Each structure stands twice: as structure tokens, then as C-alpha cells.
């Protein structure tokens, strides 16, 4: 859905349309309140990278590949919720984000749909697990797609990520990021899906080589 002129891609009208078409028959529509809950969360002061701008970017990536998804509505809802809870350095952000989705969709989305959205959110742990669903590859690639942005945009995102780990020394942060980089580059491909490999693989590898060079 194209948002009205002047409205951000993460605006209310897009979210309401998505949420409403996923409702079970007779369910109460609280999409406006849920959208505001998400917007408020993504605007929290501790966030510098995991903000509404990240969701805007992820939604724009989703729009490019949604025709390839098996369950595009579940994938899009997972995009909206995957960083809904974010406390820097905490290991359970994804699990808590999935729980928030389940809490807010209880009784209004069917169980199978909820289970799928939960698994897609958990795929953004990027630990190689939770990728049993075909659309999980798109979820992972959407979340990591900023690695494949032009250098200046990638560098700005990297600076924002560093700001979210202010409690770490430069050496500690470098070790942590180095381990994550090694994990990503140890894969046969940086991205999981053909679409993202074709469009963003080389740029992502070039960015990481230049950044950690």
C-alpha cells in the first residue's frame, strides 16, 4: 500500500490496512492504538539505529520483495514488530518483541498466523536458527539490508549502532562487532535469498571490508 502524500511509509494508514486485513472475523480493531504504541517505542531516547527510520528502511525493502514472499502480511507485521522492544545489550529483545506482538494480537489474529510472525521475529537473532520458514530468509535479509547501502549511508548506520553501545569501550565494541562480522562473512553468502544477493551482496561485502579493513 502506498501511503498518502506526505505520510511516512511507517504511517498509520499503511499499518491499519495491514492489521485490519489480518483480523479474524468479528475481532475488535485496535490498530490505531497499536500503531501509536509502536511509534512511541521506536522513538525512545536510547535508540539511535533501531528507530522508526530503521522500520521505514525495512518496509521499503519489504516492498521490493513482497511479491516473492509466501505470507507477505505475516512478514510485514514481523518487520513492524521485530525491534519493538530494545534495551541496549540485552539478549532477549527479540523474544520480548515477539511477546509484545502476541499480547497485542491475542484473540484478533489466528494462532497459526501468530506462530509464524513469532518465528519471523525470532529469525532476526541472526544466529542461524529459526529459519525453517521460507519467508524467514527475507526477514533476515530485510533486517540486514542496511549493510548493502551505499558507503556513506552504511557509515552513518554504523555510527548510530555505536551510539547504542555507549557503555562499551572501543575495544570491547570492536571485539563484539568483529565477531558478528566474522559470523556473517563465514556464510557461503552474506544474504539468504537470491533477490538480496543479486542486489546488495557485493556492496555489503565491500562495506564490511572497508569498515574493518
Query: DSSP strand E in 45-167: where?
Result: none
140: exposed, middle or buried (Cβ count in 10 Å: 0-12, 13-18, 19+):
buried
Calpha distance 120→116 (Å, rounded): 6
**pTM summary value:** 0.94
Helix pair angle (12-21, 31-42), 10° resolution: 130
Calpha distance 143→27 (Å, rounded): 30
Q: What is the pLDDT along the chain (213 residues), one digit of tens a residue?
A: 555 555 789 999 999 999 999 999 999 999 999 999 999 999 999 999 999 999 999 999 999 999 999 999 999 999 999 999 999 999 999 999 999 999 999 999 999 999 999 999 999 998 766 578 889 999 999 999 999 999 999 999 999 999 999 999 999 999 988 888 888 888 889 999 999 999 999 999 999 989 987
**What's the grid cell of residue 201?**
551482496
- Largest interatomic CA distance in the chain: 56
Fold annotation for 12-212 = Hypothetical protein af1432 (1.10.3210)
91: exposed, middle or buried (Cβ count in 10 Å: 0-12, 13-18, 19+):
exposed
Calpha distance 23→100 (Å, rounded): 17
Amino acid at each position: 500500500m502506498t501511503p498518502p502524500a506526505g505520510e511516512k511509509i511507517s504511517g498509520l494508514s499503511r499499518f491499519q490496512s495491514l492489521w485490519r486485513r489480518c483480523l479474524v472475523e468479528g475481532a475488535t480493531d485496535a490498530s490505531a492504538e497499536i500503531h501509536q504504541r509502536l511509534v512511541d517505542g521506536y522513538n525512545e531516547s536510547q535508540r539511535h539505529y533501531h528507530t522508526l527510520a530503521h522500520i521505514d528502511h525495512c518496509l521499503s525493502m519489504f516492498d521490493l520483495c513482497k511479491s516473492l514472499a509466501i505470507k507477505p502480511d505475516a512478514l510485514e507485521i514481523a518487520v513492524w514488530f521485530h525491534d519493538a522492544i530494545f534495551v541496549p545489550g540485552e539478549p532477549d529483545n527479540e523474544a520480548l518483541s515477539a511477546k509484545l506482538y502476541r499480547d497485542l494480537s491475542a484473540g484478533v489474529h489466528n494462532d497459526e498466523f501468530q506462530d509464524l510472525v513469532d518465528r519471523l521475529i525470532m529469525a532476526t537473532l541472526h544466529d542461524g536458527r529459526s529459519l525453517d520458514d521460507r519467508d524467514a530468509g527475507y526477514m533476515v535479509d530485510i533486517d540486514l539490508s542496511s549493510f548493502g547501502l551505499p558507503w556513506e549511508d552504511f557509515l552513518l548506520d554504523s555510527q548510530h549502532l555505536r551510539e547504542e553501545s555507549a557503555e562499551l569501550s572501543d575495544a570491547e565494541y570492536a571485539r563484539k562487532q568483529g565477531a558478528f562480522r566474522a559470523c556473517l562473512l563465514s556464510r557461503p553468502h552474506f544474504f539468504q535469498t537470491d533477490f538480496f544477493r543479486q542486489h546488495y551482496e557485493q556492496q555489503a561485502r565491500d562495506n564490511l571490508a572497508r569498515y574493518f579493513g
